[in-house]
Structure 1
Amino acid sequence: MLDHITEMRERILASFRLLCDCVRILVKDPELVLFPLMSSLAMIAVAASFLLPLRDSAWSIQTIISQSEDSLRQHLTEPITWLLVFLYYFANYFVITFFNSALVACVVVRAEGGAPTVATGLRFALSRLPQILGWSAVAGTVGTLLKFLESRSESSGRWVSSLVGFAWSLATFFVVPVMVVEKAGPLAAIRRSMAVMKDTWGELLVAGITLGPVKSIGVILCFLPFFACCLINTHAAIWFGGVVSLLTLLLALLVFATLDAIFLSALYLYATDRGVAAEFTRRQLADAFQLRAQE
């Protein structure tokens, strides 16, 4: 029992140190937060571009909600429906991958001793446009197939879709850094990502190693202004606290997304022995996985 408590404490401390290292890089380059912001705005534009033209069609959200289950299943058997689903996934994956590639490129430049800017990242992402388009097509196809599988059966389909989706996420964990640094195509990037995982940490659950509790605490803290203003018990104070908490939450989510990309980039650099940013130490990165491997 005592050993488990000690391991838990060490894991929390290791996660906190890694978070501090990520924050140091972000403090040096605060403009990195702009990449998740641009990605979010672009995704909103993508959603609007799909929803607005369809608002009066048979595929509008209002129409689908008001339909019976049989009518909805009939829609899901039409090829045009799945073509729209694929195009939507493709556009979203393109946006996400493009700006993530730009962010990762900036972290790599910083790790090599450079001073990256937003323009640096965008230029790098544009230079990887063929790889990003190819990856978006592959990821969009997989996403569409998983959604199709989920629609075939409400219970078993969702379970299988979730399981396959989780395995896919692990297999493609390092795809973006591989495309950015090694200029690999989508299929080669997937194979390389799996090799990096296997050769360095095996079948470890990399996606769940750190930062979850810290993020949860951060999100809770974002609502403190709202709760504090609720104690004043006036409409103006409550509205003010709500707006402040909402803006703080949005900023926190952008910061967390940026920290995730910084952490991913550092792990890739360590895994491929390409050097590690000065803010990270090999000991800390190795310890993060040693604790998980001892479970």
Structure 2
Amino acid sequence: MASKYRRGFDITRDSLRVFTREPSLILLPVLSLLAVGSAFAVLTAIVFQQGLVESLVTNDLYQYGALFCAIAISSSVATFFNAAVVHCAAQLFDGNPTSVRDGLAAAWRARRQIAVWAVVAATLGTVLYILDEKFGVVGSLTRAVFNLAWALLTFFIVPVIVLDERRSLRRQLRRSGSLFRDTWGESVSATLGVSFVFLLVALPGVALGAVGFFVLDGILATGALVSGGVIIVAAIVGSQTASAIVRTALYRYATTGEGVGPFENRDPDTVFPES
């Protein structure tokens, strides 16, 4: 068990090392968080300015509309910046120079596909939420099953959008699902490894925030809350970056059989063996 955790740390470390060739690229996930935060801040301000708070609490139509907007915004912004990370990682794998501007330009070229993807994700997410809310246990079970299936089907959706020539969402989903089916063991193991590492990174931040909120007062409480928030945000940024790099490397392996990035000196088929 310990060896599996160790391999997770190694995969995460080697993924982040890819961006040491161009450290400025860490700005991409930071910009993603800032953009999502800014968008929600604007929406919140509009809600209060227009006096819609009560309607959001009492009116289902307003609730569903707000949920759709929230999912569409977060999905589109996160996908846009992840697309930039994927493009830059692919360039670095090939030994080509790249930059933040280069990544953003690549994501902008795929803006239509990203927008379509965000609308579909928001629609599905809203429908599943309604099923969960209206149909009790059956709705909750349906939502859980579809969420899992959707996550697996779309595991490679960002690399496919950025690096593949397919332009219709249907073909992109088929391609993503096919690639995941071919590499499901490596994909799940590597992703869980990265998630576990950054969960450990985030835990001190959560603890600091809890202490600041429940135990401390005054400036000490403020300092603990801010410090905890910074640690959690750093964990989120690191997790986004490492996951995007891992998925790009696995995409390259699935499509060409070439080991790059964190899999340059290890075989993805055996990096997380059962024993």
TM over 0.5, shorter chain = yes
Q: How does 1:145-164 map to 2 (within 5 A)?
A: 145-164=127-146
Alignment partners' CA distance in 1, 2:50 and 2:224: 40
When residues 276 and 151 of structure 1 are mapped into structure 2, their CA distance, relative to the original with a 3 A threshold, is same
Indicate the residue corresponding to 1:273 in structure 2. 256
1:100 corresponds to 2:93: no
Match of 1:286 among 261, 269, 272: 269
Q: How does 1:11-90 map to 2 (within 5 A)?
A: 11-55=4-48, 59-60=52-53, 62=54, 64-65=56-57, 72=58, 75-76=59-60, 78=61, 82-90=64-72
TM-score (norm 1): 0.79
User: Residues 86 and 162 of structure 2 are in contact (CA less than 8 Å); yes or no, is this contact kept in structure 1?
Assistant: yes
User: Residues 253 and 260 of structure 2 are in contact (CA less than 8 Å); yes or no, is this contact kept in structure 1?
Assistant: no
1:220 corresponds to 2:200: no
User: How far is 1:200 from its partner?
Assistant: 3.2
Alignment partners' CA distance in 2, 1:140 and 1:224: 32
User: Residues 125 and 180 of structure 1 are in contact (CA less than 8 Å); yes or no, is this contact kept in structure 2?
Assistant: yes
When residues 52 and 268 of structure 1 are mapped into structure 2, their CA distance, relative to the original with a 3 A threshold, is same
Mark the runs of 5 or more structure 2 residues left unpaired by the alignment. none
Indicate the residue corresponding to 2:181 in structure 1. 198
Alignment partners' CA distance in 2, 1:91 and 1:52: 15
User: How far is 1:56 from its partner?
Assistant: 5.5
Indicate the residue corresponding to 2:97 in structure 1. 115
Match of 1:262 among 227, 245, 254: 245
How many residues of Structure 1 are paired with residues of Structure 2 in the alignment? 271
- Percent identical pairs in the alignment equals 26
| Residue identity opposite 2:82 in structure 1 | N
User: How far is 1:207 from its partner?
Assistant: 7.3
Alignment partners' CA distance in 2, 1:203 and 1:114: 26
Q: Pairwise CA RMSD of aligned residues?
A: 3.1
Q: What do the CA deviations read for 1:168-197 (whole angstroms, capped 9, x no partner)?
A: 011100000011111323221110011011
User: How far is 1:281 from its partner?
Assistant: 2.4
1:252 corresponds to 2:245: no
Indicate the residue corresponding to 2:73 in structure 1. 91
Larger radius of gyration: 1
Alignment partners' CA distance in 1, 2:240 and 2:186: 24
Mark the runs of 5 or more structure 1 residues left unpaired by the alignment. 1-7, 66-71
Alignment partners' CA distance in 1, 2:69 and 2:220: 44
Q: What do the CA deviations read for 1:239-295 (whole angstroms, capped 9, x no partner)?
A: 445433432332232122211111111111111126333553263422235x2xx48
User: Residues 43 and 95 of structure 1 are in contact (CA less than 8 Å); yes or no, is this contact kept in structure 2?
Assistant: yes
